[in-house]
Amino acid sequence: MISLATLKSAVQRALRQAAQAKDIQEAEVYASSTGHLLCRLNYTSAIPCNGVEEPKSSEAFGLGIRAVFSGTDGPRIGFGSEARDLSPAAIKRALEKARQNAVPDPEFMSFPAPPQAQPPKLPASHDRAIMDLKDGTLVEAGWTVLREALKTFESSEPLAKLAGSKEKLANLGLIVGGDVSLFRQRIAIGSTRMPKVQTDESTYITSAVTSMVERKAAKGSGYAATTHLAKFKGEAGADAARNAILGAGGQRLPSGTYNVVLGPQPVADLMTNLILPSLSADAFYSCKSAFLGEVGRPVAADLLTIYDYGAAKGFVGTKRLTCEGLPTGRTNLIQAGVLHGLLSNHYETQRLLKDPRAREKLGLNPQEHQDVLIPRNGFRLSNSGGRQFDVPPSIAATNLFIEGSTPHSQESLLASVGNGVYIGRIWYTYAMNGLRAGDFTCTVVGDSFLIQDGRLTAPLRGNTIRITGNIRSLLRQVTGVTKQAKPIVGWSADEVIYAPEIAVRGLQLAEIAQFMESV
**Residues between 379 and 438 with contacts to other proteins, criterion CB under 8 A:** 383-385, 392, 427-437
Give the C-alpha separation, 39 to 183, whole Å: 12
Of 167 and 453, CB closest to other proteins: 167
User: What is the pattern of x (binds other proteins, CB under 8 A) and - over residues 118-137?
Assistant: -----------------xx-
Give the nearer residue to other proteins in terms of CB position, either 26 or 85.
85
Q: Using the 8-state DSSP alphabet, how is residue 274 labeled? A: I
5 vs 287 by CB, closer to other proteins = 287
How far apart are the C-alpha atoms of 321 and 346, rounded to whole Å? 13
| Beta-strand pair 330-335/304-309 | antiparallel
> CA 291 to CA 123: how far, in whole Å?
36
Largest CA distance in the chain: 82
Q: Which of residues 341-370 bind other proteins (CB under 8 A)?
A: none
Applying CB under 8 A, the span of 73-81, 188-196, 256-264, 480-488 interacting with other proteins comes to 73-81
Helix (H, G, I), strand (E, B) or coil at 322: coil
Q: With binding defined as CB under 8 A, does residue 44 bind other proteins?
A: yes
Contact between 356 and 6 under an 8 Å Cβ cutoff? The reply is: no
Q: Which is nearer to other proteins, 6 or 42 (CB)?
A: 42
One character per residue 194-213, x = contact with other proteins (rule: CB under 8 A): --------------xxx-x-
The helix/strand/coil state of 273 is helix
Nearer to other proteins, 116 or 514 (CB): 514
Indicate whether 64 belongs to the interface with other proteins (CB under 8 A). Answer: no
Q: Which stretch binds other proteins (CB under 8 A): 3-11, 58-66, 125-133, 406-414?
A: 58-66
55 is a contact residue toward other proteins (CB under 8 A): yes
Which of residues 67, 174, 342, 372 is near other proteins by CB under 8 A?
Answer: 174
Measured from the CB atom, the residue of 6 and 384 that comes closer to other proteins is 384
Q: Within 59-213, where are the H helices?
A: 88-101, 128-131, 135-154, 157-163
Q: Which residues pair with 427 in a beta bridge?
A: 443
Q: Write each residue from 100 to 119 as x if it is in contact with other proteins (CB under 8 A), else as -, in one continuous string.
A: xxxxxxxx------------
Nearer to other proteins, 213 or 475 (CB): 213
Which residues, 6 or more positions from 185, have their beta carbon under 8 angstroms from its beta carbon?
A: 32, 33, 34, 35, 201, 202, 203, 386, 387
Identified binder of other proteins from the candidate list 118, 230, 254, 519, rule CB under 8 A:
519
Using rule CB under 8 A, residue 246 touches other proteins:
no
Give Cα separations from 81 to 21, 248, 393 (angstroms): 17, 52, 13
* Among the listed residues 305, 318, 443, 479, the single contact to other proteins using CB under 8 A: 443
Q: How far is the CB of 273 from other proteins (least distance, A)?
A: 10
Q: 393, 347 in Cβ contact below 8 A?
A: yes
7 binds other proteins (CB under 8 A): no
Nearer to other proteins, 100 or 118 (CB): 100
What's the CA gap between 203 and 215, in Å, rounded? 39
3-class DSSP state for residue 152?
Answer: helix
What's the closest the beta carbon of residue 336 comes to other proteins, in angstroms? 28
Are 152 and 146 in contact, with CB atoms under 8 Å apart? no
Q: Which member of 10, 31, 32, 62 binds other proteins (CB under 8 A)?
A: 62
Nearer to other proteins, 123 or 136 (CB): 136
Q: Binding to other proteins by residue 153, rule CB under 8 A?
A: yes
- CB of 241 closer than 8 Å to CB of 470: no
Site for other proteins in 282-311 (CB under 8 A): 285-288
Is residue 242 within a helix (H) or strand (E), and if so which, with residue range?
helix 235-246
Binding span for other proteins by CB under 8 A among 9-17, 67-75, 140-148, 310-318:
140-148
Instruction: Work out how close the CB of 195 gets to other proteins at its nearest, in angstroms, rounded to a whole number.
Output: 25
135-154 and 235-246 are packed helices; what angle lies between their axes, rounded to 10 degrees?
30
- Per CB under 8 A, 458 contacts other proteins: no
Whole-angstrom Cα distance, residue 284 to residue 277? 10
CB of 512 to other proteins, least distance (A): 4
Q: Which is nearer to other proteins, 433 or 484 (CB)?
A: 433
| Residue 336 in the binding site for other proteins (CB under 8 A) | no
Sheet holding 304-309, edge to edge: 338-339, 330-335, 304-309, 399-404, 496-499, 486-488
Strands 399-404 and 496-499: parallel
> Is residue 79 close enough to count as binding other proteins by CB under 8 A?
yes
Residue 507 and residue 469 in contact, taking contact as beta carbons nearer than 8 Å: yes
Q: Which of residues 478-497 bind other proteins (CB under 8 A)?
A: 491-492
